[in-house]
């Protein structure tokens, strides 16, 4: 593999700390968390104490004010160990940046310290039963009534849904204005009328609490409006490149781990009196996968460099998400095949990774939406 230049010595020291923490505090328990349908909430507080949550948040609010490379390292190490139940990426890379970038000073002072410590877990509620990739089609409404909004509607497939203390909710404050009527509200989980539905049973990512959320005349104070009214769709579009980069980083790190598991397996497993690694088909498959993986790693690292420079555009981020997640599913399927029947057993990490990866092509905008974004950029005049 080509040496990576996107991370500094300080980054790699941080990576070592994250890896050791996950090996001792998460990996031994993840199988039980898969049965429980969620990770232990105390893991969040332990991570907060170590500085692993929201490393980009400014020092004024208790953060470390580091670059996004530190977020990327946390994402990669979680993916390498197959710890897909841990929702730190959604929290640190996606939800909390909305507060940092668009929140008032009062909102930042109130919520960010808890987000950093792990006392506040965040979620973002975009998807609805009838509106997935079509964010303009959300039907959840927030009607202004004096000093509060009355929030009504439902959301589904919400990561961190059971643990969440604070949810960034996408709602229509003007149902007749299309995208210009979309706003973002900060909704606290103890608000009357806010109910969390069942923890959804999924094909993969079984330790991740993914839930339905229901809002029945929830009174949201006007001071919990995030940014300007009617500006929500613009904010969502501005933040999606970072979200899609996070997904791509997860995908490539997971691919690298799966290659390692598979190489170890084919060296040890024998068929017809010799290791599977001795067969030309195995050698060619691994060579093809590793070649594509190397090329994608270089591209994704370049995207990370562009993000450091605030130059990662919407189309390039869409390409990163599309290519990385399509390849992730391809690689894991090929690696499972090389494991044979054992690859289909849940006790093997390749089986869990194969099941966990499929959703990567769906969330953060389906890969079909990524193709639309890329084609529009290509064909615009």
Residues known to be catalytic: 243
* Beta-ladder partners of 101: none
Q: Containing H/E element for 50? A: helix 42-50
CA distance 84 to 118: 18
Which residues pair with residue 142 across a beta bridge? 151
Q: In the Cβ-directed half-sphere of 257, how many Cα atoms lie within 13 Å?
A: 23
Pairing of strands 210-221, 225-226: unpaired
DSSP H/E element including 30: helix 30-36
Instruction: Report the DSSP pairing between strands 122-125 and 166-172.
Output: parallel
22-29, Cβ contacts within 8 angstroms, sequence gap of 24 or more: 22/77, 22/78, 22/81, 22/83, 23/81, 26/81, 26/83, 26/86, 27/81, 27/83
CA angle 223, 53, 224 (to 5 degrees): 5
Distance, CA of 144 to CA of 292 (rounded, Å): 52
Give the torsion sign (CA, 367, 369, 373, 376).
positive
The answer to whether 121 and 44 are in contact (CB under 8 A) is: yes
Number of Cβ atoms within 10 Å of the Cβ of 5: 8
Tokens of 365: 């905008």
């Amino acid at each position: 593999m080509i040496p990576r230049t996107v991370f500094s010595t300080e980054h790699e020291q941080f990576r070592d700390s994250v890896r050791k923490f996950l090996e001792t505090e998460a990996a031994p328990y993840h199988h039980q968390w898969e049965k429980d349908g969620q990770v232990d909430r105390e893991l969040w507080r332990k991570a907060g104490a170590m500085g692993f949550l929201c490393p980009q948040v400014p020092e004024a609010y208790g953060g470390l004010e580091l670059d996004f490379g530190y977020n990327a390292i946390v994402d990669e190490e979680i993916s390498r160990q197959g710890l897909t139940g841990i929702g730190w990426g959604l929290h640190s890379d996606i939800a909390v940046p909305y507060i940092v970038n668009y929140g008032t000073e009062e909102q930042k002072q109130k919520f960010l310290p808890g987000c950093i410590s792990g006392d506040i877990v965040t979620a973002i509620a975009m998807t609805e039963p009838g509106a997935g990739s079509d964010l303009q089609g959300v039907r959840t409404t927030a009607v202004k009534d004096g000093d509060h909004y009355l929030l009504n509607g439902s959301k589904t497939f919400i990561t961190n849904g059971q643990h969440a203390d604070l949810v960034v909710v996408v709602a229509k404050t003007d149902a007749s204005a299309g995208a210009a009527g979309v706003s973002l509200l900060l909704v606290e989980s103890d608000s009357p009328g806010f109910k969390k539905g069942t923890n959804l049973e999924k094909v993969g990512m079984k330790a991740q609490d993914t839930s339905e959320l229901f809002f029945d005349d929830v009174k949201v104070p006007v001071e919990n409006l995030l940014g300007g009214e009617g500006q929500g769709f613009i904010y969502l579009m501005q933040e999606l490149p970072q979200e899609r980069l996070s997904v791509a980083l997860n995908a490539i790190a997971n691919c690298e781990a799966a290659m390692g598991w598979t190489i170890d397996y084919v060296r040890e497993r024998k068929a017809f009196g010799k290791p599977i690694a001795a067969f030309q088909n195995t050698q060619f498959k691994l060579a093809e996968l590793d070649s594509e993986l190397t090329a994608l790693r270089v591209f994704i690292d370049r995207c990370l460099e562009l993000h450091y420079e605030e130059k990662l555009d919407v189309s390039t981020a869409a390409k990163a998400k599309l290519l990385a997640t399509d390849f992730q599913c391809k690689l894991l399927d090929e690696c499972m095949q090389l494991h044979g029947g054992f690859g289909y057993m849940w006790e093997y990490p390749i089986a869990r990774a194969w099941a966990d990866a499929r959703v990567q092509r769906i969330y953060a905008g389906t890969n079909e939406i990524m193709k639309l974004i890329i084609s529009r950029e290509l064909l615009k005049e």
